[in-house]
Every structure is written in structure tokens, then in C-alpha cells.
Amino acid sequence: MPSSFIAPQRVARRALRLSLMFVAAALAACAMPTHPDSAAPPSDPFNPAAVQLLDDTSWTLAAWKTADGRERDIATLGLDVRPTLVLSTASGQRRAQGFAGCNRFSGTYTLKEGLLAFGPLVATRMACGNAHDALERAYLDALTHAGKTGVQWRSPPQLQIVTADGATLTFQAAGR
């Protein structure tokens, strides 16, 4: 082969290598960056700004600790459905509704200065037995005596309502 033919091949190979390196560098630059806060611990759930985002959410009661730290056992009551809480603005005003362990309930709620507060709650009047009725009364009483509200939006989303006497109701986002 003549030397005049070999030189253009070398130039072509070198140009190909350079263009492949440029493509590899461009692809590496397009990789999804990791945000420096992605490994940060969860934010303070009692941040008032997080609580203000509770409109139009649905929650299921996951755990209930009494003021003295004991776990209130709601699973042994044999409920087909755990107590729920739905916060909606669909009617143009803030309305709370849900299932209290035996009956359905509804009423109004407010979000002010990081606190979820409930107005008077009304419930249907079906009798379900002493244990279910007692749970329902305690649940509705706890909602109407919320002293502190916390929300963790990071997965899995949780809502905590701490009552004035120190009991803590922990909810998980419904459907999770």
C-alpha cells in the first residue's frame, strides 16, 4: 500500500477515537446527578409548612400509642377496615370524614399555624358492641383534642396527631 493511503487511514482512526471519546464524555455528562440532600435524614414532621399541605389527602390509622407509651391494640378488635381520615376541600370548604371503627363521621377542620384542628364531628349511630364503640369514642375524642400535628411526606407518607394528653395517632397515606 502506498504511504499516501496509510496516513489518511490513521487520521480517520484518530478522528473516530476522538469522536467516540467525545460521545462518551457527553453521555457521562448527561447522567442523572444525585442531589446532595437525597441522603439527608427526614425533615422535622412537625414543621408547620408541611402540615399546611394536608388538604385533599386520605389516611388510615396505622398505630396508636397512649399517653403512657403503651401501644393501643386496634388489630385485635377484628375490624375489617381500620379507622380512616379523609381531608377534603372538594365542597369549597375544609371537610373531614372517615370511618371511626364502627360508624362513619364527618365535620369541619382547619389548618392554622401547623395544627390540624377539627370542629364538631358527627357520626352515624350504628351499635357495634362495647369494644368497637369504645374505640370509636376514643378515636373521635382524640381527633377533636389534637394538640400537635406532624406530617412526613417522604415515602411512606405519615400523619401524626398528638393529643392534648400526649397520645399519638399515626396514620399512613391511604392506599399504600
85-96 pLDDT, tens digit each: 999 999 999 999
User: Which residue ranges make up each domain of the chain?
Assistant: 1-35, 48-173
pLDDT digits (tens, 9 = 90+) for 22-64: 666 666 666 566 656 556 666 788 888 889 999 999 999 999 9
Reply yes or no on whether the pLDDT at 18 is more than 90. Answer: no
Half-sphere exposure of 70 (CA within 13 A, CB side): 4
Determine contact, residues 57/85, Cβ cutoff 8 Å.
no
Class for domain 48-173, per CATH? Answer: mainly beta
Average pLDDT value for the chain? 85
Average pLDDT for 119-130: 91
Of 145 and 14, the structure prediction assigns the larger pLDDT to 145
Cα 169 from Cα 82, distance rounded (Å): 12
Contacts of 16 (CB under 8 A, 6+ apart): none
